[in-house]
Amino acid sequence: MSAPAIPGIERVLFTEEQIEARLCEVAAEISRNYAGRTVKLVGVLKGSVFFLTALARHIEVPLKIDFLGISSFSNKSGSPGVVRIAKDLDESIEGDDVILVEDIVDTGFTLRYLLQNLAGRAPNSLAVCTFLDRNSRRIVQVPVDYRCFEIPDRFVVGFGLDYNQLYRNLGYVAVMKPDKG
């Protein structure tokens, strides 16, 4: 696929076909690991919505979904990583086999907070599935059980990831030009 005619986009990193193929692999792995159980996918708004729904369609065990909304900001001293829940889950996860679904893991601050928070609600199990992993930006170590793609330290959009709230609906993942993001 050639670079799309969208301002600010440098090149396609993963095509729709590559994403679909990888989603099938990860969904098959999840289906095997959760055979005989019901899995609850917990998505983190907004970025994970596109990935979660696409992934869910390929998972072959009984499945429920729920969503969390978060806000993250720096504290008074300018340190990043302060995360709060802005929209809580609709239902309890006590006793559930939960997979927390993210579009991207960067510093790990969001995931660390969410894992601590969700673990306190007594799920039967708690795993992490992320569409993208930008491990080069990690500051705190967090467990990632399923990842679709490792990406370089570049600003990317598409398949749920945004630039000023735009481009989430692209079917592919693209790298923004260096002066963007």
Residue from 9, 30, 110, 170 touching ligand PRP (CB under 6 A): that is 110
Given 66, 106, 145, 162, which residue is catalytic? 106
Residue from 99, 100, 104, 126 touching ligand PRP (CB under 6 A): that is 104
Q: Are strands 173-176 and 9-14 parallel, antiparallel or unpaired?
A: antiparallel
Whose structure tokens read 């500051």? 139
Of 80 and 95, the one with the shorter C-beta distance to ligand PRP is 80
Of 34 and 67, the one with the shorter C-beta distance to ligand PRP is 67
Residue from 102, 159, 172, 176 touching ligand PRP (CB under 6 A): that is 102
Q: Are strands 156-157 and 82-87 parallel, antiparallel or unpaired?
A: unpaired
Q: Is the Cβ–Cβ distance between 4 and 12 less than 8 Å?
A: yes
Is-catalytic flag, 145?
A: no
Q: Compose the 143-162 pattern: x for residues touching ligand PRP by CB under 6 A, - for all others.
A: -------------------x
Report how far residue 145's alpha carbon sits from residue 134's, in angstroms, rounded to the nearest whole number: 15
Residue from 22, 46, 121, 154 touching ligand PRP (CB under 6 A): that is 46
Q: Is the Cβ–Cβ distance between 129 and 26 less than 8 Å?
A: yes
Q: Is the Cβ–Cβ distance between 85 and 113 less than 8 Å?
A: no
Positions in the binding site for ligand PRP (CB under 6 A):
44-47, 72, 102-111, 162
